[in-house]
């Protein structure tokens, strides 16, 4: 049965929609199944796209290539190494710029010949620079003007393990001829006998180095000094230092109130501990032993992976330490690292710690055992195993 057209016929030459070719009728058997239909490709279910158009092969888009994991790993590794290198270089220059190189050892005259290994003179001063009145009260430092040496040690590093030697502040020494660090004037020797810490009080680090070298015959390669506030800041930055105390310590002058046994000291407690001498039977000699013990433990704590590999602990520790240290003009970061690692070696049993050998006392001054001191200095100058025993 034929379909009946509705509406007016299209004008000649036009389709039913004004210029659009007329679509085939669905009543004559063509359209769906005919070969001349408008959309025969669609009705056969063929998909157009890429090379899959009419007559194309398969009708599917090409697959993405598999990821090149070897290349990705290589690029990632290069990126990480580059970031690490840049960070390391930046950290080095940042840290190097923070060192306070204020001590000019070229002003020290008539110096002994340099021996084997490296000798550091490590000084703890009672400087209160940068401390508020509240800090001074909290740390029991008092408010004395100027600064004096509260502790002095020689650290020798070489091929036979490190040796840490305390120089008691009450040691009897002779002030030699010296050149004034500010005036440049040369002062002749007069044979004056004083306590060792008086040399620092008289003309600072340069005269202290000159006096130590003159009275020992040992060449000092580097000078390192830290004040009260800086010491406490380093201890706090590293998260405290664990130490085992053999006895209770209570000292109103230093503020120490510590119980016997293993414990972690914060900055305030640590400063009180290393300053205590009146509560100790051996006074200054026992204090120097405690100072050695604590500084070795501090160096060991700083050098742990928990500090070195943790930027949130490493950078505050470095910042606190470098800001508060005063060193000689030739001191570098590698020298500082050598000093800390050697002090760690002392605490781990790889080295030796001792007091300067003492023969007795006179008028409150401690007299060195000259024969033992000479033997000790010879062993250090030759970088030999130290056999001398100190007090």
Domain boundary assignment for the chain: 101-382
The whole-angstrom separation of Cα 307 and Cα 85 is: 19
The whole-angstrom separation of Cα 56 and Cα 63 is: 16
CA distances from 62 to 46, 65, 215, 267 (A): 17, 9, 88, 68
Both tokens of residue 210? 């000159």
pLDDT digits (tens, 9 = 90+) for 74-116: 888 888 888 878 877 776 677 777 788 999 999 999 999 999 9
The whole-angstrom separation of Cα 265 and Cα 245 is: 11
The whole-angstrom separation of Cα 382 and Cα 156 is: 11
Both tokens of residue 111? 């110096």
Please answer whether residues 228 and 128 qualify as being in contact, where contact means their C-beta atoms are separated by less than 8 angstroms: yes
Please answer whether residues 297 and 243 qualify as being in contact, where contact means their C-beta atoms are separated by less than 8 angstroms: yes
* Residue 229: per-residue pLDDT: 77
Strands (E), 268-384: 325-328, 352-355, 358-362, 365-368
The whole-angstrom separation of Cα 370 and Cα 194 is: 17
* Residue 17: per-residue pLDDT: 45
The model carries a pTM of 0.73
CA distances from 228 to 90, 225, 240 (A): 29, 10, 16
* Residue 105: per-residue pLDDT: 95
The whole-angstrom separation of Cα 323 and Cα 314 is: 14
Both tokens of residue 279? 């509560």
Both tokens of residue 343? 């002090």
* Residue 112: per-residue pLDDT: 96
The whole-angstrom separation of Cα 209 and Cα 281 is: 30
pLDDT band at 260 (very low <50, low <70, confident <90, very high): very high
The larger pLDDT score, comparing residue 155 to residue 127, is at 155
* Residue 172: per-residue pLDDT: 96
CATH 3.40.630.190 fits 101-382, yes or no: yes
SS3 state of residue 136: helix
The whole-angstrom separation of Cα 73 and Cα 238 is: 36
Both tokens of residue 218? 């040992």
Cα dihedral 124→129→133→136 (10° resolution): 0
| Termini Cα distance of the chain | 129
Residue 333 sits at the vertex; the CA angle it makes with 331 and 339, to the nearest 5 degrees, is 80
The whole-angstrom separation of Cα 303 and Cα 317 is: 11
pLDDT band at 281 (very low <50, low <70, confident <90, very high): confident
pLDDT band at 299 (very low <50, low <70, confident <90, very high): confident
* Residue 42: per-residue pLDDT: 46
């Amino acid at each position: 049965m034929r379909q009946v057209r509705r509406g007016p016929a299209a004008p000649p030459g036009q389709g039913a929609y004004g210029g659009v070719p007329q679509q085939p009728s669905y009543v004559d058997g063509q359209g769906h199944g005919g070969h001349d239909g408008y959309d025969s490709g669609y009705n056969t279910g063929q998909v157009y796209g890429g090379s899959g158009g009419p007559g194309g092969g398969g009708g599917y888009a090409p697959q993405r290539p598999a990821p090149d994991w070897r290349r990705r790993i290589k690029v990632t590794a290069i990126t990480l190494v580059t970031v690490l290198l840049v960070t390391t270089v930046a950290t080095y220059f940042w840290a190097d710029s923070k060192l306070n190189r204020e001590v000019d050892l070229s002003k020290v005259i008539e110096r002994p010949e340099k021996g084997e290994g490296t000798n550091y003179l490590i000084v703890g001063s009672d400087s209160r620079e940068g401390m508020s009145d509240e800090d001074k009260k909290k740390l029991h430092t008092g408010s004395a003007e100027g600064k004096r040496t509260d502790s002095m040690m020689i650290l020798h590093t070489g091929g036979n393990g490190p040796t840490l030697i305390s120089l008691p502040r009450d040691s009897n020494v002779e002030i030699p001829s010296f050149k004034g660090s500010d005036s440049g004037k040369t002062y002749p020797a007069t044979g004056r006998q004083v306590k060792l810490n008086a040399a620092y009080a008289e003309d600072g680090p340069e005269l202290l180095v000159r006096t130590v070298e003159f009275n020992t015959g040992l060449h000092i390669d580097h000078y390192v000094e830290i004040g009260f506030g800086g010491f406490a800041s380093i201890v706090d930055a590293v998260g405290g230092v664990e130490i085992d105390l053999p006895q209770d310590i209570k000292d109103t002058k230093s503020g120490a109130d510590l119980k016997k046994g293993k414990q972690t000291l914060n900055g305030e407690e640590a400063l009180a501990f290393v300053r205590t001498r009146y509560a100790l039977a051996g006074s200054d000699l026992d204090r120097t032993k405690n100072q050695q013990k604590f500084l070795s433990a501090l160096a060991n704590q700083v050098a742990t992976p928990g500090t070195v590999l943790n930027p949130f602990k490493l950078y505050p520790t470095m910042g606190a330490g470098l800001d508060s240290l005063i060193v000689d003009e030739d001191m570098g970061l590698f020298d500082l690292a050598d000093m800390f690692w050697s002090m760690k070696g002392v605490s781990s049993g790889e080295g030796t710690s001792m007091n300067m050998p003492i023969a007795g006392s006179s008028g409150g001054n401690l007299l060195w055992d000259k024969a033992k001191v000479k033997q000790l200095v010879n062993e250090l100058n030759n970088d030999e195993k130290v056999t001398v025993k100190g007090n």
